[in-house]
Amino acid sequence: MFQPRTNVYTRTQNHARGGLASAVTSTTGSTRSRSKWYKQLIGMLIVALIAGVGTVVPSQSSYAAGEKKPFPQQTSYPGTIKPSHVTQNAMNQAVAQYYDYWKGKYLKNNLSSLPGGYYVKGEITGDQDGFTALGSSEGQGYGMIITVLMAGHDPDAQTIYNGLFKTARAFKSSENPNLMGWVVADSTQAQGHFSSATDGDLDIAYSLILAHNQWGSGGAINYLQEAKQMITDGIKVSNVTTNNRLNLGDWDGKNALNTRPSDWALSHLRAFHEVTQDPIWLQVIDNLYSVYNQFSNSYSSATGLISDFVINDPPKPAPEWYLGEFKETNIYYYNASRVPLRIVMDYAMYGDPRGKAISDKLTNWIKGKTNNTPAKIKNGYKLNGTEVGDYATAVFVSPLISAATTDSANQAWVNSGWDWMKNKKEDYFSDSYNLLNMLYITGNWWKPGADAQPELPNLALHATAVASSIEGISFEADRAFDGNLQSRWASSEGSDPQWISADLGAVKAIGSVGLHWEDAYATKFKLQVSNDGVNWQDVYSETNGSGGVQNIPLNQVQARYVKMYGIERATPYGYSLYEFEVYPPN
């Protein structure tokens, strides 16, 4: 439900928190004495005040709201790459600054007809039926995913998320009340007036799973229950067709063959399967891959491109002016431009080689088309690769950078693309999708885990702990096992190696380890296990650690003791962990 614009996008000044505030953020949560840093900060504050910048307020702790997966998570997915010419911390800061800009420009809660209701302000297409549209279910879905992933950076994230959900529920679809009507307007008459659009509901339902992972479902909103109801009674009932495609909305037929590839959020569907255990979602995934490959073999064998809308069986491009929205519905345009992100995430998060094959074909084509220059990507292509657009915009560029993360041969392309996209500011549609791609590329779009169902216990919670050293009082080893993300263990400063271990009380099956690093993290370390606390076995080795939160899967490990053995530090200080978690297998 997007209207392409032919005018040049308006650039907007970034009013996100940056500069001094960013410098403050980098050390938030550390209580050790760092006199040199404080002297520098005081000097910066004085300069700022003299220059009339105003009050600079340090950001709140990432863990102030009790998030289980606070930003930054900076996950590294097997078989994928990230930009290699900048640090992970620099990427995290770029995402945080872009979010602050995006939030300030598009996230609104000024509905007089729905106090407390948030929405994402953006343009729409289609008949508004006499209402003044302020946003759409598409934007609502983007906003709900973004807000969950940025929780921790934004201390108000859960309040905002609940407000976005309030709006999604108030503006229920006229056809299926478990779905959202596609228009947001400041009128009670608009609530329940419009039918749904598939992409918005897929994103909203998926965001509810993320919200359950982030905050749990024991509060004011049972996120997991709401997700399951929306998935089963909403999307499955109204949007999954009898031929295992996704139709365009709950107004569309259950036997429809028309489908919008930008709705093919395959990793969402896998998450739906995980929380419902309904095999229909795997069947839809298999069928959509089949449709994509049939289409590409017939119409885009050299490019891998797909059209904004696909119809019929065997599949083919929709005609021009399909549904009367705009002429270019038969080519790779402003709907289909979103597809590469939808596809690559299924490979990155779930390892499906079909996602990699499509991503690789798209990447090989666009790199050749642009002579390895992302800034030369245009806003529209015929299926054979002929340009129809005349300038670069993030909703076209960024997904094609994401697609390239499947192969280290694309490192220069990903690096250049990151530099282009991280500061690109245009309009609601491009900016929102740009931010989603930035979250994926930096590893800050994390995969919903097994805790989308009953949560796995932390085997190391309150375990007996021992460390090679401590920095001093209040930094003891047991602080890393107390379940409190405000406290931490810290080793003595300036020496390697250092270690910390936990006694689980008995030999137990271990499926994964979670390390919540403070700023003083290990760039090189090992995870070791033992049954007697004397003889240790290496089960994991890290040679390029980037701090933050590391979730490390382990394969068939049985042990009583678990140790983090630090070999090389990122800072002149010691090693420091907010939490050291140990989980059983899924």
Q: CA 6, 11, 17, 19 torsion: positive or negative? A: positive
Asked if 503 contacts 561 with a C-beta cutoff of 8 angstroms, the reply is: yes
The angle, 0 to 180 degrees and rounded to 10, between the axes of the packed helices 339-350 and 428-441 is 20
Report the distance separating Cα 442 and Cα 420, nearest Å. 14
Name residues whose C-beta falls within 8 Å of residue 454's C-beta, 6 or more positions apart in sequence: none
Look at residue 574 and give its three-state secondary structure: coil
In the set 199, 250, 407, 427, the catalytic residue is 199
Which contiguous run of DSSP H or E holds residue 103? helix 88-106
Q: Say if CB 109 and CB 161 are below 8 A apart.
A: no
Rounded to 10 degrees, the C-alpha dihedral 232/335/362/72 comes to: -60
At 407, phi and psi to the nearest 5? -150, 130
Characterize 432-442 residue by residue with b for buried, 16 or more Cβ atoms within 10 angstroms of its Cβ, and e for exposed. bbbbbbbbbbb
Q: End-to-end alpha-carbon separation of the chain, Å?
A: 38
Q: Are 321 and 329 in contact (CB under 8 A)?
A: yes
Q: Is 278 a catalytic residue?
A: no
**DSSP letter string over 42-71?**
HHHHHHHHHHT-----PPPPTTTT--SSPS
Tokens found for residue 395 = 């909703």
Nearest to 335 by CA among 402, 409, 259: 259
| Active site amino acids | 199
